[in-house]
Structure 1
Amino acid sequence: MERPLARLEVPDLELGLREKLVHADRLRPGARAAHGTAIYGLSLADDMTDTTLGHAGNGYPDAAVELDESTRVDLPWRGIEAVIGDLVDANGDPVGASPRGMVQHLVERFGALGLEPVLGFEYETWVFEADRDDRRPGSLAHAVTIADLAAEFARRMAAIGHPLEAVRSQARAGFVEFSIAPSPALRAADGAARARRHLRELCAERGLVASFMAKPFGDREGAGGHVHASLERDGANVFAADERLSAVGARFVAGLVASLPQLTLMFNPHVNSFKRIDPRMWVPTTSSWGYDDRRTACRVVVRPETSARVEHRRGGADANPYVIAAAVLAGGVDGLERRLELPPPRTSRAVPVTLGEAIAAFERSRYVDRLLPRRFVDAFAATRRTELTLYEAWLDRTITDFELQRHVEHR
């Protein structure tokens, strides 16, 4: 008799979750699996970068994987179970490069202040036909196609305990937006990572491709990956008071504004990410905040107070959910711990405008070692440098259409 399979989902620095199918008895409750530390050096296209955990010198070793039983779910459309497991060290603690472990650690810092951060993820996604030669978003032929896709996606997310608040098609064909119901920070990041995976799988079943690329078209809007954040104490939202930011809410937002210039890389991790930044498309070019102001990086909503929050609008859909959650939490807890003062609304701070600038600002950030694990910082910066190097090498050997149109007839 064939043994059933189960899906192990392991957080990485790029996609959110990478998976492998194993025999179910190897993922039974209490079991420990193993996974290669090379996972923290993989790019979107599986280019390999050496990191302090996995490199040629140590042979890219495995590390133990500890299963989080709170994430175990049935996938009825697949007929299997899935569980998230994180790489851990000899003491059973998440390894330093783990973005999920980083979120856990930051949540604990909020707990020391008597607060629980709550996050809600909102994504814009391109959905296009898989058989199109140009690999560009194609029109979903009928409105019923979009509605049916959205309904099935919502059913699957509800089945795994991460219900959607809304799914809708944007003005252009193939452009879909969905938001996930808010939940405690780590659970929210798990849900966002799973949502991205499940939407891709669902689209593939139907001859479609779901892309979280930030800017596939130069003349169209990009795909955002916004994070809504609030704070709870004893189960009650304490982000606002009297229809204004509360003291803790103001310090949290002050931390977001102060940290964005140094943590831009965590919100915009690819060359393409920076092509989405365009104020004409309501994508902020500076670090700023404002009440219900979509032109700012941090849009504060205080009505009703029970759902008061800040919407961080800088991130693109291409950002890893765990990494972007950690960036929001790190900035927010820093504002609380250092009791930062909130500047006046729409006060702007410059942020990096290229991937190279973002890498440099990230590596010299004062948040390194104080709020972010050194091994994460080293691995994340190294993998971003690999992307930049590959892009620049491609650019050097590629003759663009712009060059040909301007010069070929004037040889």
Structure 2
Amino acid sequence: MAAKKAHSRTTKATTNLPPKPSPAVARARGVDNWKEAAAWLRARGIEDIECITPDLAGVPRGKMMPTSKFTSNTSLALPSAIFRHTISGEYPEETEEFRYDSRDSDIKLMPDLSTLSVVPWETDPTAQVICDIVDTEGKPVSYTPRNVLKNVVSLYRERGWKPVVAPEIEFYLVAKNDDPDYPLRPPQGRSGRSIQGGQGYSIAGINEFDELIDDIYHFSAAQGLEIDTLIHEEGPAQLEINLRHGDPIELADQVFLFKRTIREAALGHGIYATFMAKPMQGQAGSAMHIHQSVVDAKTGKNVFSNPDGSPSKEFFHFIGGMQAFVPSTLVMMAPYVNSYRRLTPGMAAPVNNAWGYDNRTTAFRVPVSDAAARRVENRLPSSDANPYLALAASLACGLLGIQKGMEPTPPSDGTANEGSVDLPRGLLEGVSLMENEEALLEVFSREFVGMYAGVKRGEFETFMQVISPWEREYLLLNV
């Protein structure tokens, strides 16, 4: 009798427990449909939602609204001009290839519910969702960064393949600076002293910013973002975050959100995080290295390896394509005047289009691995690049090499970063190479190439209006 009563009490207590959330509602990141989205938002008491999309620079643009409006099938529109302005917010002059929409018509934000996540640094319960851009008829707008990358991935899909990438993002922590005329300087760490250079892989260097790094991890976990490793790089307060390998669009989304996350975490501690390619004179630049491989969509086997474990012809053609076409797409991986200050002889960044086995002086390094993990690391992109465009450019070059059966040069065994520079040395040269490469129009669209080139030329003209300290130092009294 006592046993039955005990069982009765247990059953009653169990039935009074709140129901377990569905797996979709419990996920930190992403849902499958609008019904799940409504439940996900309700379970977290979300009041506002940010509908964001990356512009050409990778800056989040979009609209913020109450949750009730988001879930009521509201049409979200933006002016097309936001994809035609420079990083400084100016609008370049029209050219034959660079044109504005004469009506500045609407383009529409289409939320990708697989990217739904919280905004953990906001005080009010807030969520965010990354959106694709379509026209008023629902067709993808070809020149927007996420669609550019999606198109490149679709070209792999047509061959029955899936590209796999793993980005590594370097950035600097710097003391707050409200006057752009003054050079940046490292922030104070927990020791009370400004951290200096030469801290590569130093655990003590990371520990200087323990509380900030804890916030980065907590913010990332809340958004469902996966950090693989975090290290201290060579520059003073220069850190690197490595992401786990996966689908290019998902990884570009993660880099897009990581940049925002790291900046917000740093601001919470009274310092800046910057992804400038070369923020400090005389110090190492910041890269976004991209590890790339290709797998068969059905079997999951690495296309870069033959059944016996040897490198495949596709592996070598991929490298051949990188060597042939990356100089013409470098402007998508090094998009600003400052980017080319990193790509300088004598510094750690490569200034060549050579490749080699485990050779960090080459642009394209093949890390030591087994056959299943055979991959090519592109060491040219800088951390200031729009991740969608940098990934699209890198993967497109490799695919063009496979399509055209391009053979690479022999691998470099020694130091490849000495002697002549094999890449564009400045922004305008990079733009010209991109415009004049017909093969790129097949993978990016003529509209994107013309628009991107027009914006980059506009940014160069804005830069030329600024007189630098070098000019005042050496020209003022000497010429």
Tell me the TM-score normalised to structure 1 length: 0.90
The amino acid of 1:24's aligned partner reads: T
| 1:298-317 to 2 correspondences below 5 Å | 298-317=364-383
Query: Are residues 1:36 and 2:79 paired?
Result: yes
2-structure distance, mates of 1:395, 1:244 = 54
| 1:154-165 to 2 correspondences below 5 Å | 154-165=217-228
| 1:299-338 to 2 correspondences below 5 Å | 299-338=365-404
- Runs (5+) with no aligned partner, structure 2: 1-44, 191-204
- Superposition deviation, residue 374 in structure 1: 1.6
Query: Are residues 1:235 and 2:280 paired?
Result: no
| 1:281-300 to 2 correspondences below 5 Å | 281-300=347-366
2:317 is matched with which residue: 248, 251, 257? 251
| 1:7-406 to 2 correspondences below 5 Å | 7-28=50-71, 31-49=74-92, 55=100, 57-58=102-103, 60-78=104-122, 79-130=125-176, 134=182, 136-142=184-190, 144-233=207-296, 234-241=299-306, 244-346=310-412, 350-395=422-467, 399-404=471-476
Change (3 A) 1:340 1:302: farther
Change (3 A) 1:44 1:240: same
Q: Secondary structure at the match of 1:122?
A: strand
- Aligned residue in 1 for 2:48: 5
| Number of aligned residue pairs | 405
Q: Secondary structure at the match of 2:478?
A: helix
2-structure distance, mates of 1:146, 1:306 = 37
The amino acid of 1:87's aligned partner reads: I
- Superposition deviation, residue 387 in structure 1: 1.1
Change (3 A) 1:29 1:289: farther
Change (3 A) 1:26 1:339: farther
Deviations 1:165-198 (A, max 9, x none): 1112224432111111111111111111111111
Change (3 A) 1:216 1:22: same
Deviations 1:29-70 (A, max 9, x none): 865411121221232222233678983732x33211111111
- Runs (5+) with no aligned partner, structure 1: none
Over aligned residue pairs, what C-alpha RMSD do you find?
A: 2.7
2-structure distance, mates of 1:162, 1:200 = 15
Change (3 A) 1:240 1:146: farther
2-structure distance, mates of 1:354, 1:139 = 30
Instruction: Select the structure of larger CA radius of gyration.
Output: 2
Q: Secondary structure at the match of 1:286?
A: coil
Change (3 A) 1:69 1:6: same
User: Is the CA contact (8 Å cut-off) linking 1:5 and 1:22 kept in structure 2?
Assistant: yes
Q: Secondary structure at the match of 1:282?
A: coil
2-structure distance, mates of 1:393, 1:304 = 52
The amino acid of 1:137's aligned partner reads: R
Change (3 A) 1:214 1:349: closer
2-structure distance, mates of 1:368, 1:306 = 30
- Superposition deviation, residue 72 in structure 1: 1.2
Percent same amino acid among aligned pairs? Answer: 28
Q: Which runs of 4+ in 1 moved over 6 A?
A: 50-54
User: Is the CA contact (8 Å cut-off) linking 1:106 and 1:326 kept in structure 2?
Assistant: yes
2-structure distance, mates of 1:7, 1:235 = 36
- Aligned residue in 2 for 1:407: 478
1-structure distance, mates of 2:72, 2:238 = 40
Q: Secondary structure at the match of 1:173?
A: coil
Tell me the TM-score normalised to structure 2 length: 0.78
2-structure distance, mates of 1:219, 1:61 = 46
User: Is the CA contact (8 Å cut-off) linking 1:168 and 1:177 kept in structure 2?
Assistant: yes
The amino acid of 1:39's aligned partner reads: I
Q: Secondary structure at the match of 2:443?
A: coil
Higher share in strand:
1
User: Is the CA contact (8 Å cut-off) linking 1:245 and 1:302 kept in structure 2?
Assistant: no
The amino acid of 2:280's aligned partner reads: F
Deviations 1:298-344 (A, max 9, x none): 11124133332111011111111011011012112112222222221
User: Is the CA contact (8 Å cut-off) linking 1:239 and 1:249 kept in structure 2?
Assistant: yes
Change (3 A) 1:16 1:115: farther
